[in-house]
Structure 1
C-alpha cells in the first residue's frame, strides 16, 4: 500500500467512526440526564430521545444526501457535514433546556445523515472485488473500535458530569482537514445522469433494507436500556455501564475484522443466520443475568452476531446497486439503519409498560432465533441458488 492510499483509507475510517459515536457516546450519561431534567414533563422518555433523535434525522436526510451526491459530488457535502457535526454535537455541553438539547441532537443527526452515505459510497467508488470486501469488514471493525474508545471516554467523562461527553463531538474538526487533504472526488460522479431514472436495483434490496431496520431496533436495546438494567442490579457506576456497552462493540469489531475470511467460506444467508443466532443467545443470557460478569458475556455474544451482519448487508447492497444510483441506494440503506435505532425506544417503551426488562430481552431473543431459522431455511431447501441477486458466497 503506497503512502497516499494509506492516508485515504485512514481518513475513510475516521469519518466512519463519527457515525457510531454520534449516538452512543452519551449513553452512559442518560440516567444522570434523566435525573437532571426530572422536573420536565415526560423527562424519562424525552431523555432517551436525546440519545436516539439523531437516528431519526439521519434516516430522513440520508436518501436526500444520496440523491445529491449522485448529482453534485461527494466531498463538498462531506466537509459541510463535519463542521455541522462539531457545532451541533458539542453544543450539548452548554445547553440547559431539554428541548433546545433535542434540537441540537436533531442537527447532529442531519450532519451524520450527510456524512454516512458519503463514506459508504466512497468505499464502493474507490474499491472493488476482494479489496472492497476486506475494507468493508475493516470499516465496521474500526467503527466498533471507535465506539469502544468514545463510549469508554463518555463513561469516564459522565462521572465528572453528564455534560462533558458532548465535548467529544469536537473530534470531527480533527477529521475535517484530513478529508480535504487525502480524499478525492471519484470519476463516477462526472458521468452522464440523463439515463439514471431508468436504472433500477433488484427488488431484493428492499428485503435487505427492512432486515437492517429490524436488526437495529433489537440491537439498540443495549445502549438505551443497559445503563438502567445495571442500575436495577445495584451497579450505578457510569464507567461500568460504558464498559458493558463497549464490550459488545469490541466483539462486534472482532467479527467485522474477520468478515472477509467469513465471507470467503459462507454464503450471505448463512452469515445472517449465524449472526441472529449469536444475538439470540446474547439476549437470552441477558434476560437471566444476575451478575455483571453474565451481562458482559451476553454483550460478547450480541456483539459477535452484530459485527458479522453489518458488513454482510453493506457488501450485498454495494454488489446489487447499480453504480449510477449507488449513492441513492446507500442513502436508503442508511435511512433504514438509523430508522431502526430511532424506533427502538419508541417501540420498546410501551412493551416495557407490559413486560419487565428481563422479559423484554427474552422476547427479543425469541424473535432473533426465529429470524435465524428463517435465513437458514432457504439454504436447507437449496433454493438460494435461484434467488435473483443472491450471492452464493
Structure 2
C-alpha cells in the first residue's frame, strides 16, 4: 500500500494511541504502597500483581488475536481495546474493594493483549525495511511516553488519595477515539488458499527470551514504590517520578534505536538485558539516594526500550506477512507470562534463600538472573545457536 505523508502521520498517531493503552498497565504502580496500607489483608504479592495481573488474560487474548484478525479488522479490535481500557479503569470507583480493583485490572488484560499484539501488526502492515525498524522504535518510545504520562500523573493524583489515580484511565477513551479517526480500515487479514500461519524456531527463541527479560525487568515497577528508603519512603510522587524516568529512558532509546542497533548488531538483545543488570544493581544498593535511583531507572528503561522493539522486529521478519500478528502474539505471550509469574517466583525465591521477602533481595535475584541469561545469549550467539 502506497502511503502519503499524511497517511503515515495518522498511522503513527494511531501507534502512539495504542501504546498509551499499553502504558495503562502501570497506572497503579506509583500507588502500590498506599494500596497495601489501605488493604492490609492483601499480601504483598497480591498487591504487586495489580500491575502484572492483566498479563494473564492478555496472554489468551494475544493468542486469539492472531486468528481474530482473519475475521475482524485490526481497527475494530483496537477500538474495542480502547473502550475496554477506559471502562475497566473506572470500575474500582463502584466499591472500596481490593478484589473489585484486582478484577478490573485483570479484565484490562483484554485491552493489553490486543494492544501489544496488534500494535506490532500495524507497524508491519504499513512499513518495511529500515522504516519498519525506525517506526518500531517510535512505538517503543510512545509506550514509554504513555508510561511517563500514566505514572507521573497517576502518582500526582495518588497524592490526593490512591483512588484519584484511577482517573488516568480516561486515556483509554481518548485512545479509542484517535484509533477510530486515524487508522485506515484495511479489512481482515487474507491468506493464500492452504497457507498456514507457521511459526519459525526464531519466533520461539524470541518468546523464551521475552519471558526471561520481563520476568526480571518487571521487578523495577512492582517493587520500586515499596523499596524507597530514608526520607523517600512512602512517597507516591517519588515512585511515580522514578517510573516516569524509566519510561522516559525508554522513549529516548526508542528514538535512537536504529542507530543503536547498527552499533550493537547481533548483540543488541543481550546488551539490553545487561542494561537492566546495571540499573537493578543501582536501585538495590541505593534505596534512599534519589540521584542513584534515577540513574538505575534510566538503565532499566534503556533495557526495555532496546529489547522489546528489537525482539518484535525479529519475530515480524521471521514469518510471512499473514503470520505477523500471530508471531507478535507469541512474543507477547512470552513477555506477559514472564511478568505474571515474576512476583510469585521472585518473592518465593527470596523467602526460600534469604528467609524473608524483601525488595532488595528481589532486585538482587533479578540482577543475577538477567546477567546469567544475557551471558547465555552472548555465548549462543557466538556459537550461532540463536
> TM-score scaled by structure 1?
0.90
Given that 2:284 and 2:364 are in contact with CA atoms closer than 8 Å, whether structure 1 keeps it comes out as yes
- Aligned partner of residue 108 in structure 2, secondary structure: helix
Q: Which residue of 2 aligns with 1:249?
A: 247
Residue segments in structure 1 that go unaligned for 5+ positions in a row: none
Deviation at 1:163, TM superposition (A): 0.8
> Counterparts of 1:238 and 1:155 in 2: how far apart (Å)?
5
Deviation at 1:367, TM superposition (A): 2.1
Deviation at 1:185, TM superposition (A): 2.8
> Counterparts of 1:8 and 1:159 in 2: how far apart (Å)?
36
Moved over 6 A (4+): none
Q: Which residue of 1 aligns with 2:31?
A: 29
- Aligned partner of residue 216 in structure 1, secondary structure: helix
Instruction: Decide whether aligned partners of structure 1 residues 340 and 315 sit closer, same or farther in structure 2, where only a CA change above 3 A counts.
Output: same
> Counterparts of 1:303 and 1:77 in 2: how far apart (Å)?
29
Deviation at 1:190, TM superposition (A): 5.1
> Counterparts of 1:263 and 1:186 in 2: how far apart (Å)?
31
Deviation at 1:378, TM superposition (A): 4.2
Equivalences for residues 128-143 of structure 1 within 5 A: 128-143=128-143
Residue segments in structure 2 that go unaligned for 5+ positions in a row: none
Deviation at 1:68, TM superposition (A): 0.6
Q: Which residue of 2 aligns with 1:102?
A: 102
Equivalenced residue count is: 378
Q: Which residue of 1 aligns with 2:312?
A: 314
Once structures 1 and 2 are overlaid, which stretch shifts more, 216-225 or 77-86? 77-86
Q: Which residue of 2 aligns with 1:216?
A: 214
Given that 2:137 and 2:256 are in contact with CA atoms closer than 8 Å, whether structure 1 keeps it comes out as yes
Root-mean-square deviation (CA), in Å? 2.0
Given that 2:78 and 2:114 are in contact with CA atoms closer than 8 Å, whether structure 1 keeps it comes out as yes
Q: Which residue of 2 aligns with 1:352?
A: 350
Deviation at 1:76, TM superposition (A): 1.6
Q: Does residue 195 of the first structure (1) align with residue 198 of the second (2)?
A: no
Deviation at 1:341, TM superposition (A): 1.4
Q: Which residue of 1 aligns with 2:78?
A: 78
Q: Which residue of 1 aligns with 2:61?
A: 61
> Counterparts of 2:239 and 2:359 in 1: how far apart (Å)?
16
Given that 2:81 and 2:111 are in contact with CA atoms closer than 8 Å, whether structure 1 keeps it comes out as yes
Deviation at 1:251, TM superposition (A): 1.3
> Counterparts of 2:43 and 2:375 in 1: how far apart (Å)?
39
Q: Does residue 293 of the first structure (1) align with residue 291 of the second (2)?
A: yes
> Counterparts of 2:142 and 2:234 in 1: how far apart (Å)?
29
> TM-score scaled by structure 2?
0.92
Q: Which residue of 2 aligns with 1:282?
A: 279
Q: Which residue of 2 aligns with 1:366?
A: 368
Deviation at 1:137, TM superposition (A): 0.6
